[in-house]
Amino acid sequence: MAGTRTVGCSRVSGPQPFVFEAGVEVKRYAPATERNRDVIAETLMNVLPAQGLVLEIASGTGEHAVHFAQLFPAITWQPSDPDPIAIASINAWRADYAVPNLQPGMLLDASAEWPIAHADAIVCINMAHISPWAATVGLLRNAARILPQSAPLFIYGPFRQHDVPLAAGNATFDAALRQQNVEWGLRYVEDITKEARDVGLTLDQIIPMPSNNLSLIFCR
């Protein structure tokens, strides 16, 4: 299976949702990036193909994209986001680092039909809980359409699980998110898995991550 390297913005209390912090010119910063990028990269090393095109959904500031493109030079990294401010930030980071395998940011709404026919893997970090449910459904639907057999869809973030007690920090975070936007909140892994199954994706791995986060690996 692909999960084991087969060839083939307001502040709220508790953990924070995606936060744009002003930087020089149009570059933006997400404080969580430096805390989670290395541990995510360690997981991706066992998930991503050795080469090919990786599509990142909801790339935000572009900091993850720059970091991962440097770590995986044989992979073409395609960042995307539905927010033009994020696209400008992605492109500013890209210009500063001049990573040859990092593509310009693509304006892309996860919930819509993607103008993309193929990707060898898809990465989505910290989107599901700070977007409408339709974005997660669209992510799964489009992934099932464009990924080849056994290719991975990697989803990272805080989640709920039935029969697993919710950590106090995540409970506070969830309540704050829902107060900020009624369409936000921590999603149940089981709900995502059901939607995935309906479009032909299978949950291959659930990987516990620091700070009560999870990595979910889906495959066709």
- pLDDT in the model for residue 9: 27
- pLDDT in the model for residue 34: 87
- Are 147 and 124 a contacting pair, CB within 8 Å? no
Domains of the chain: 2-219 (3.40.50.150)
- pLDDT in the model for residue 21: 52
Render each residue's pLDDT in the chain as its tens digit; 220 residues.
Answer: 333 333 222 223 334 444 455 454 689 988 889 899 999 999 999 999 999 999 999 999 999 999 999 999 999 999 999 999 999 999 999 999 989 999 999 999 999 999 999 999 999 999 999 999 999 999 999 999 999 999 999 999 999 999 999 999 999 999 999 999 999 999 999 999 999 999 999 999 999 999 999 999 999 8
**Can you tell me whether residue 80 is helix, strand or coil?**
strand
- pLDDT in the model for residue 6: 30
**Residue closest to 92 by CA, chosen among 109, 104, 107, 76:** 104
Please give the distance of CA 185 from its chain centroid, rounded to a whole number. Answer: 15
**Which pairs from 202-209 meet CB under 8 Å and 24+ separation?**
204/1, 204/2, 204/3, 204/152, 205/1, 205/3, 205/4, 207/43, 209/36, 209/39, 209/40, 209/43, 209/156
What's the length of the chain?
Answer: 220
pTM of the prediction?
A: 0.89
**Can you tell me whether residue 161 is helix, strand or coil?**
strand
